[in-house]
Chain A
Amino acid sequence: MKWIGVALVAGSLLLPPLFAGDFYINLASQILIAAIFALSLNLLVGFGGMTSLGHASYLGVGAYISALLTSRYGFGHGAAALLSIVGTTAMAAFFGVIALRASGLGFLMITLALSQVLWGLAYRMSNVTNGDNGIAGLTRPAPFGISLDSPISFYWFALIVATFALVMMATFVSSAFGSSLKGVRDQPRRMAALGFNPWLIRWITFVYAGFWGGVAGLLYVYYHKYMHPTSLSTTSSAEALLGVIAGGSGTLGGPAVGAALVVLLKNYVSAYLERWNMLLGLVFLFIVLVTPTGIVPGVSRLTTRLRGGER
């Protein structure tokens, strides 16, 4: 049964590009990018119990660094990508120190405030970021000389990165350190009494989540070939958070499913409805009412029940 699921997922990722049109291939690429981003946020929200409303900071800054270095300062894509990841991770290390002074609602507000500062900067420092006009005319890298300009080649590239990201994050949460992290999420006081350093465990996770947020940002800017301050907005953070919660926080597949849902709704519904946000809200309301723990845990409970299993 488990293998049927794996085969279905693999099939749906590998087959469509062979016959689907460019529109759908691009949509699939966007889903993959959103999935990496949601998975990285899920490290904080689902596995660390740290609900962040500022995760767009890492996507946005990762993307902006690459965009600026390649378009303004003449860097090659390799060096720009490296600096972008290092810069984003360093920023996460610094922001983590600030945000982890609080937990719960305080943590959420600090992450929100920090991301708002960056968003404001991206708008106002127009001599650097070009403000509301955004940075246009960006290019995609050509790793090993393979051009990523066609939708299909970019899709394969995104799929490889997303698979790698999923494996890395899955390894992280199922490691011994992952057990420490989940313990600190559930009983921080007890964990401290047992010899774990809750702060450091949270901080390391925060930095790791920032790292993958930066990776998602790189893919994001490669895909769009354009950069605008909205990528740093609260809406961008909130969409990812909605995806995580709707898909199932604290599960590995959930955030990917949730992210796919957000991207699909956004792209399809916005073609027919101007107020597509309203429909997005209603869909999430429905999900949360029907399966409060998210789509993936809800569906897996349903299938075990249908097969007559317990629990």
Chain B
Amino acid sequence: MTALTFGYALEVVNLKKTFGGLTVTQNVSLSIRPGERRLIIGPNGAGKTTLFNQISGDLRPNSGSISLFGSDITHLPPYKRAHLGLSRTYQIITLFAGDTLEHNVTLGLLGLRRARWQMWRPLSFYGNMTTEARRTLDAVGLLQLATHPISDIAYGERRRVELAMALAQQPRVLLLDEPLAGLSNTERATVKSLIASIPRQTTVIMIEHDMDTALDLAETVTLLNYGRVIVDGERDAVIADERTREVYLGT
């Protein structure tokens, strides 16, 4: 069993979460291989973000277990999961509005470095972190805005900063919660190619409603409904599955 589970980047077993009488996650099990591109779909209220919140540690499940590269993280606080190589973005943009883009991305880097406890040297002392932050901003096409505060930039650009913050951490497992939400067609194309260019050392798990774009990025798909896994498997098989049509595609 242990030898087997070690083969997975992320393994969720029989996860269950209730809010009062409402069961939002019901015996969810997922096995995601290193480097896999997994898309999680399902109607509104299917429990997708709640599942992400349990994986990232923002919510504690009632029962079940979560392991990252074979080590049990079910009871670890979020910051420890980050140090084990888990990063995430948020559906609702969660940035530091008064700070510059550069500072936002630098915080992503600082979070994994010992310098975050450094009490007499300013952040600017760590020039290599700034360089790396700027390199990541360049990768998402926002270098020219690096010294602007977040409050100055457009929504679509903020989405990319969300992504940059997570990418800067070079995570082993990356959770993307609706990275395309609210973007224009051109922005979609930009972010899509950005996600496509994420190196294979990073396992990507993505929640997304925009099927046209997201399906191209995915290798495997999990369909959730009412907190349960309905279908789970290779992309084409899941799309072709009758239950998918019933629940989601509505034809």
Judge if B78 is at the interface, Cβ distance under 8 Å: yes
* CB under 8 Å from chain B, chain A span 185-218: 186-187, 189-198
Residues of chain B within 8 A (CB-CB) of A71 are none
Interface pick from B118-126, B182-190, B210-218: B118-126
Judge if B226 is at the interface, Cβ distance under 8 Å: no
Judge if A298 is at the interface, Cβ distance under 8 Å: no
| A187 close to B96 (CB less than 8 A) | yes
* Whole-angstrom CA separation of A176 from B129 in the bound complex: 11
Where chain A touches its partner, the secondary structure class is: helix
Residues of chain B within 8 A (CB-CB) of A191 are 107, 111
B108 to chain A, nearest CB (A): 5
Residues of chain A within 8 A (CB-CB) of B116 are 176-177, 179-180, 195-196
| A177 close to B119 (CB less than 8 A) | yes
Q: A176 with B111: in contact, given A192-B78, A193-B56, A193-B82 (CB under 8 Å)?
A: no
Say which size band chain B's interface belongs to.
35 or more
Residues of chain B within 8 A (CB-CB) of A193 are 56-58, 78-79, 82, 87-88
| B121 close to A175 (CB less than 8 A) | yes
A183 to chain B, nearest CB (A): 5
| A195 close to B111 (CB less than 8 A) | yes
Judge if A172 is at the interface, Cβ distance under 8 Å: yes
Number of A interface residues, CB 8 Å?
Answer: 22
Judge if B83 is at the interface, Cβ distance under 8 Å: yes
* Whole-angstrom CA separation of A194 from B82 in the bound complex: 6
Residues of chain B within 8 A (CB-CB) of A180 are 110, 116-117
| A176 close to B165 (CB less than 8 A) | no
Residues of chain A within 8 A (CB-CB) of B125 are 176
Looking at the complex, which one of A172, A177, A179, A192 makes contact with B107 (CB distance below 8 Å)? A179
Residues of chain B within 8 A (CB-CB) of A194 are 79, 82, 87, 107-108, 110-112, 165, 169
| A195 close to B79 (CB less than 8 A) | yes
* Whole-angstrom CA separation of A307 from B190 in the bound complex: 42
Judge if A171 is at the interface, Cβ distance under 8 Å: yes
| B58 close to A189 (CB less than 8 A) | yes
Judge if A174 is at the interface, Cβ distance under 8 Å: yes
| A195 close to B83 (CB less than 8 A) | yes
* Whole-angstrom CA separation of A183 from B88 in the bound complex: 17
* Whole-angstrom CA separation of A198 from B58 in the bound complex: 13
Judge if B7 is at the interface, Cβ distance under 8 Å: no
* Whole-angstrom CA separation of A172 from B119 in the bound complex: 5
* Whole-angstrom CA separation of A175 from B110 in the bound complex: 12
Q: Which of chain B's residues has its CB closest to A174's CB?
A: B122
| B96 close to A186 (CB less than 8 A) | yes
Residues of chain A within 8 A (CB-CB) of B6 are none
Residues of chain A within 8 A (CB-CB) of B79 are 192-198
Q: Which of chain B's residues has its CB closest to A199's CB?
A: B77
Looking at the complex, which one of A172, A179, A189, A192 makes contact with B110 (CB distance below 8 Å)? A179
Residues of chain B within 8 A (CB-CB) of A196 are 79, 110-111, 116
Looking at the complex, which one of B87, B117, B120 makes contact with A171 (CB distance below 8 Å)? B120
Residues of chain A within 8 A (CB-CB) of B96 are 183, 186-187, 190
Residues of chain A within 8 A (CB-CB) of B247 are none
Judge if B249 is at the interface, Cβ distance under 8 Å: no
* Whole-angstrom CA separation of A11 from B2 in the bound complex: 71
| B107 close to A183 (CB less than 8 A) | yes
A40 to chain B, nearest CB (A): 15
* Whole-angstrom CA separation of A197 from B79 in the bound complex: 6
Q: Which of chain B's residues has its CB closest to A180's CB?
A: B116
* Whole-angstrom CA separation of A175 from B115 in the bound complex: 10
Residues of chain A within 8 A (CB-CB) of B82 are 192-195
Residues of chain B within 8 A (CB-CB) of A179 are 103, 106-107, 110, 116, 123
Looking at the complex, which one of B56, B95, B115, B169 makes contact with A176 (CB distance below 8 Å)? B115
Judge if B71 is at the interface, Cβ distance under 8 Å: no
* CB under 8 Å from chain A, chain B span 85-104: 87-88, 90, 94-98, 103
* Whole-angstrom CA separation of A190 from B96 in the bound complex: 9
Residues of chain A within 8 A (CB-CB) of B95 are 187, 190
| A176 close to B123 (CB less than 8 A) | yes
| A176 close to B90 (CB less than 8 A) | no
Looking at the complex, which one of A177, A186, A190, A195 makes contact with B90 (CB distance below 8 Å)? A190
Looking at the complex, which one of A177, A183, A189, A198 makes contact with B117 (CB distance below 8 Å)? A177
Residues of chain B within 8 A (CB-CB) of A190 are 90, 94-96
Q: B interface vs A, CB < 8 Å? A: 56-58, 77-79, 82-83, 87-88, 90, 94-98, 103, 106-108, 110-112, 115-123, 125-126, 165, 169
Provide 28 A-B residue pairs closer than 8 Å at the C-beta atoms, listed in order of the A residue: A171-B120, A175-B122, A175-B123, A176-B118, A176-B119, A176-B126, A177-B118, A179-B103, A179-B107, A179-B110, A179-B123, A180-B117, A183-B96, A186-B98, A187-B94, A189-B94, A190-B90, A192-B57, A193-B57, A193-B88, A194-B87, A194-B107, A194-B111, A194-B165, A194-B169, A195-B79, A195-B83, A196-B116
Known: A177-B119, A186-B98, A196-B116. 6 other contacts (CB 8 A): A175-B120, A179-B103, A195-B82, A195-B169, A196-B79, A196-B111
